[in-house]
A = this chain, B = another copy of it.
Amino acid sequence: MTEAGATLHRHVAELYPICRSITGAGLRATLRYIGAQIPLTLTEVPSGTRILDWEVPPEWVVRGARLATLDGRTVVDFADHTLHLLQYSEPVDRVVMRDELDAHLFSLPEQPTLIPYRTSYYARNWGFCLPHATRRALRDDAYRVRIDTALIDGSLTYGECALPGEEPGEVLISAHCCHPSLANDNLAAIAIAIDLAQWLAARRRRFTWRFLFAPGTVGAIAWLAANRDAPQRVRHGLVLTCLGDPAAPTYKQSRRRDAAIDRYVAYVLGGARILPFAPTGYDERQFCSPGFDLPMGCLMRSPAGTFPEYHTSADNPDFVRPEAMADSLRVLQEIAILIEHDRPWRNTAPYGEPQLGRRGLYAEQDRMALLWVLNLSDGRHTLLDIAERAGLPFASIRAAAQRLEHARLLEPAAA
């Protein structure tokens, strides 16, 4: 296990026990943890605030929840696992007949030992999620239900870490942080976003990099409502999700399909495992809605719903792998290098070939890279364009551009 992998996995393990939701104390505790690693600005949006076509829901307070037999034996207790309680359950404190109870129980007949993850944010309801085996063992006519929750006039919280750059334009990295005890979905991505931000904070940056940690859907919508100018600012972006499982990295394209980010990720992944855009999934649905149409795709390993641990108690810290998380971080770093360094240059001696010999450049081992950069640096080709046409690695083309810039044979061109 590499050091990077160990650090990433430690973040997951620390955050796992917290009961996050789209609002509330668990969400704030998570943002506090992130804020201890990287500079984070929190925003609270009051319940009832109109955000685009939506409204901020009431804040959900959970103190405890227990389903028990009438003689006091615990069936399931929220204290044992945050998944046991249907998210946004309203308060209940009464004896419930078996038939009524059944409509409030959620289990997985095909995976009888696992607890499912269920929510009911907008339709008032209550319920318990439990292993199907436990459910099947229920024989009594009535049970004691006690759900000590409240839906209060509070607020929705999101956090932003903005690392300023030297040129205009932002890169938006978004990771949803509303899921309770689920490791791959989405603690692994949160952990990787923290490390990527730390890595970028230590480097010179062309763009401002903005990391957004917000609850899914309604959090992204709240951020977009406050950032209607996002299309003018965001040059590239990625939604990060499910980045810790052992599958190979997978990329879902932006709505635009031919945005620079689509090309960069495909280049880093060698063209494999690229999925077309669809208006479902994570917060790319919001960022890529037609009014915003941000150039943002979604980076993951296993896509949501395609692995049996998805949205169950099996998506725990044992399921996410340090080496997979380290690999996800490396992929993101390579993408970041492309985002930061792919740009057009202009050959300052474009008439004929400049005499490289008298500048000590002709004998260079990578003469081909030098000649290609000179030939195509007409302001219309970026370094990646040149790398792809030359059939040379981006790193070689970028190194050649640096040497030519140093020899004053290259100057930046407007993108």
Residues of A within 8 A of B (CB): 52-54, 122-123, 217, 220-221, 224-225, 228, 255, 278-280, 285-286, 288-293, 347, 349-355, 357-358, 368, 371-372, 374-378, 390
Contact = CB atoms under 8 A, between A and B. Distances in A.
Contact of A290 (B54, B225, B255, B350): B350
Query: What's the number of copies of this chain in the assembled complex?
Result: 3
A352 B288 contact: no
Given A255-B375, A279-B375, A293-B378, A285 B353 contact: yes
B357 A289 contact: no
B280 A350 contact: no
A404 B285 CA distance: 18
A280 B285 CA distance: 47
Contacts of A291: 347, 350-352
Contact of A355 (B54, B368, B376): B54
Nearest to A378: B290
A357 B120 CA distance: 12
Contacts of A371: 279-280, 285
A149 to B, nearest CB: 21
A398 to B, nearest CB: 17
Contacts of A372: 278-279
20 contacts: A53-B349, A53-B351, A53-B352, A54-B352, A122-B358, A123-B357, A217-B353, A220-B352, A255-B375, A278-B372, A279-B372, A285-B353, A285-B375, A286-B352, A289-B351, A289-B374, A289-B375, A290-B347, A292-B351, A292-B352
Given A122-B357, A290-B376, 16 more contacts: A53-B352, A53-B354, A221-B353, A224-B352, A278-B372, A278-B390, A280-B368, A285-B353, A285-B371, A286-B352, A286-B353, A288-B375, A289-B353, A289-B374, A290-B350, A292-B351
Interface centre among A52, A353, A372 (most CB of B within 10 A): A353
A374 B286 CA distance: 12
A349 to B, nearest CB: 5
A101 B280 CA distance: 75
B52 A352 contact: yes
A122 to B, nearest CB: 5
A371 B292 CA distance: 15
Contacts of A293: 378
Contacts of A292: 351-352
